[in-house]
Chains A and B, each alone.
Chain A
Amino acid sequence: MEEETKTSKQNNERFLKRYDTVFSFLGLELVALLFFGFGGATGTMILKVLGALLAFLAFPFAENAMGKEKLKKSLITLIPLLVFFLLLGLSGFWMAYYQDSIGYGILSGVLQFLGLIALMALGFCLKCIPSLKKETVVFALLCGLAVYVLLTGLYSLARYGGFYAAIYKGQYYYFDGVIFPIDKETKALVGFQFLEASLSYGKVAAFLLASSGAGLFFKGKTKKDWKFYLVFIGLPLIGLLDLILVPHTRALLILAVIYLFAGIASLLYRKLQKNKKAAQIVTRVAYFGLIAVAAIGVGILFIDAMTGVISNANIPYISSNLRADKAFFGSIRKIIQAVIYGSSANAELGRFNLSSFLFGVSSLQSVGFSKTFEFNLLYMNGVPMFLLMLFLLFMAIRGLRSYLVEDGIDAMKGMMVMILLGAFLYYSCFSDLFPFVHELRFVPVLQTSIPLALAFVFGYTFDPAHYSLKKGVAHEE
């Protein structure tokens, strides 16, 4: 019996070794195409299905690396995330959106769920392929982004010229008799055509590419040759250059914050490496401090939406920003009111609406989505999902921090974590659900290809041990 198990295991390993290159290639090709946004919405749909198939076929790698028991436990760790992904497409908003074709709506929701899970699983399975190096994975991710950025960047350069947002600031052009500001748009590759899109939508790939460079601060002790640096500095530079040539100043500001954060974090890590207790204290203070800031911030926004205490207080900039419906905080305020009261009429009467509170606003007459992914999700899915998302975000921060420092820091790990951090910050500041300038097309963030590719990256960094609540904040090294 033992002999049979040993032979079976050997046969299994031989089988996996034969196909590990194939799965590595196919998996990385798929995620590169996702970052590239190949084929637009149709391409994304096809890549989701292919991703699911690949993840299913690559599952033996994970099983072989972790063992069945550990794998089962990791699935249990993922239950909150699975619930979150499942309920994303099922809400008051989406029922109203697909009211004319409920079947298509359900299918769309299921495909979205499958896509996110599949890409996460694929990332996790590819990590379990011993012959697949992290450098190769990161290279594929960055290449996918870089090809997209180069194509759109060069085309934008040809159509607008360099630094057009600064040179032509306050200038307008006419299209269909409507006046459009030239400094707020760029060219985006959608499917196989270039379309005019908002800077927020069009430059997300460039931003992610540029963010990845901050991961190099986490360079380990292993010396690398010049080719390594040429590639892994050169590719993020393409993203940075693309942002500079607009210039997309707000994104560059957020990018500077990311680089500053990465610099300080890596410095702190190196200083406190030998003093684990101090490292734990710093980590816990930072982590719980972040939770406190987020909780207070969200609390203040909710209180103001219900009482107007801040928006009516005449605090310079903040009050006016809260009062203006289309301003950053004003749009968030409108969303919170819509979720709590269901409608502006109800808001004036102070009448609480349980349905919109729990399941999101079931009205297609948008109050005007905000620039933040989190509050747009609040609008579409309600308060419980919003709170679940916040919980998952903080768990992810914890898990990614553990991933980064476990077994020593590493530039490749750093680059992947910085891509995820960059995505979080970008979509928290620049989310645009109607991104196309010359057409009214609703483009929910999670139905685009980049979040799927990010799910892959997250899956690659995932280790269930990092998300165990029993271990406390910091993963014990």
Chain B
Amino acid sequence: MKNKKKILLLASVALLGSCADTNELYDGDAFAGRDFVQNRYSVWADGLEVPSTKTTIRHGEHGYWNGSGKFDSPSDCFGLSEAKKWHPDYFKDGENDLTWTKTGDSSMGQDIVGGFINEWSDNSSLVGTVYGQTKKLANYHPGFRKGYLSKLYNGQVKCNGWSNYALVILDESGYGTRFPAELQKGSYFGFIARGASDVGAGRIISYDVNVTFYKYATNGVDLQGKSFLLEDVKLQANLSAEYTSFVGFSFEDVNYDPTGMVAMSMTYELKNDPALESLQAGETLSGNFEDEATYHTGLALTEVLLPDSTWN
């Protein structure tokens, strides 16, 4: 009887001390300040530094899609039209054709109901018409609604004037996160991003983006990774944060079964930045925010998608 009382007391203390809602708090301008380099998000969840097998995917109909597929002008480099051309079924909700924004597949128009920075809006009216709001991860599991990375799961595919509050800025070291549940079923993966830099005017930057998915090994404790290297991903940088591109690939095309996925990470290597040509003598530009380079170029994520997925 005494032991039972002790256990009950300990359980009560543990419960009262859990403080789950205060586990992930930030200062108001965390990752959204004036200093571009200080806005880098480089958090890696525990246990993700494991070896992984790598597959290279090239741009193409059975490889990865990349925005509009047009890269001559930064103002053309946005949206989802290439994915829509190769996989039209991904952009249907019943009979409805899902679009980039409320006004269609152009860069104009909003992909959210509207509202100021840091004001929650009910975007449920856009489900069934706007792609991001229909296919966002927050629709599939409530755990995706919480935390800093909920920015990547809320269906907001463009800046909409939210500036850094809409973006997760990465440098080459990338980030790694555990999902709040285990993936049971999924057909394709995508991310929506643009380039970001503290130098230079609007331009198209090339990245080699490495995405790794993690599942538990047979021992049920360790994680195993499977990496996909997307070579030469082209993203617009510094023209406008409204020009973001949908990049992704079908699991069938890369012969990968995502069942059991519990985590992912993303890193990149800066392949080519036209700003390098306009640097003055002695100036350097780097994709690594920790070095002493004069300028830096990063990747600004707005959304990570595993559409039509089920989670447990």
Contacts and interface: CB of A to CB of B under 8 A. Distances in A.
Interface string B1-30: 000000000000001111111101111101
A168 interface: yes
A179 B21 contact: no
Interface stretch (B79-87, B88-96, B141-149): B141-149
Contacts of B166: 177
Nearest to B21: A159
Nearest to B166: A177
A161 B150 contact: no
Contacts of B19: 158-161, 164
Contact of A439 (B28, B30, B122, B165): B122
Contact of B145 (A158, A175, A181): A175
B77 to A, nearest CB: 23
A437 B151 CA distance: 17
Interface string B27-58: 11010000000000000000000000000000
Interface in A148-192: 154, 157-161, 164, 168, 170-182
Contacts of A170: 27-28
B73 interface: no
Interface string A181-208: 1100000000000000000000000000
Nearest to A178: B120
A158 B21 CA distance: 9
A351 interface: no
B118 interface: yes
Interface size class of A (residues with CB under 8 A): 20 to 34
A161 B151 contact: no
Interface string A435-459: 0011110000000000000000000
B26 A173 contact: yes
A168 to B, nearest CB: 6
Given A174-B151, A176-B138, A178-B119, A161 B145 contact: no
A182 B25 contact: yes
Contacts of A158: 15-20
B120 A173 contact: no
- Counting chain A CB atoms within 10 Å of each CB, the highest count among B16, B17, B27 belongs to B16
A94 to B, nearest CB: 22
A177 B154 contact: yes
A160 B21 contact: yes
Contacts of A440: 120-122
A161 to B, nearest CB: 4
A158 B22 CA distance: 10
B146 A175 contact: yes
Contacts of B147: 173-174
B156 interface: yes
Nearest to B19: A161
Nearest to A187: B21
Given A160-B19, A440-B120, A175 B150 contact: yes
A352 to B, nearest CB: 32
A157 B120 CA distance: 25
Contacts of A164: 19, 22
B25 A168 contact: yes
B175 interface: no
Contacts of A178: 118-120, 154
Nearest to B122: A440
B243 interface: no
Interface string B147-172: 11111111010000000011000000
Contact of B21 (A154, A182, A439): A182
A168 B122 CA distance: 27
Contacts of B15: 158
Contacts of A180: 118, 120
Interface string B132-146: 000000100000011
- Counting chain B CB atoms within 10 Å of each CB, the highest count among A175, A179, A439 belongs to A179
Interface string A221-232: 000000000000
A130 B123 CA distance: 56
A171 B29 CA distance: 10
B138 to A, nearest CB: 6
A176 B150 contact: yes
10 contacts: A158-B19, A161-B22, A164-B19, A172-B25, A176-B154, A177-B151, A178-B118, A182-B22, A438-B145, A439-B120
Given A174-B146, A176-B145, A438-B120, 15 more contacts: A158-B18, A159-B18, A161-B19, A168-B22, A168-B25, A171-B27, A173-B21, A173-B25, A174-B147, A175-B120, A175-B150, A176-B120, A177-B166, A182-B21, A438-B145
Interface of B: 15-22, 24-28, 30, 118-122, 138, 145-154, 156, 165-166
Interface of A: 154, 157-161, 164, 168, 170-182, 437-440
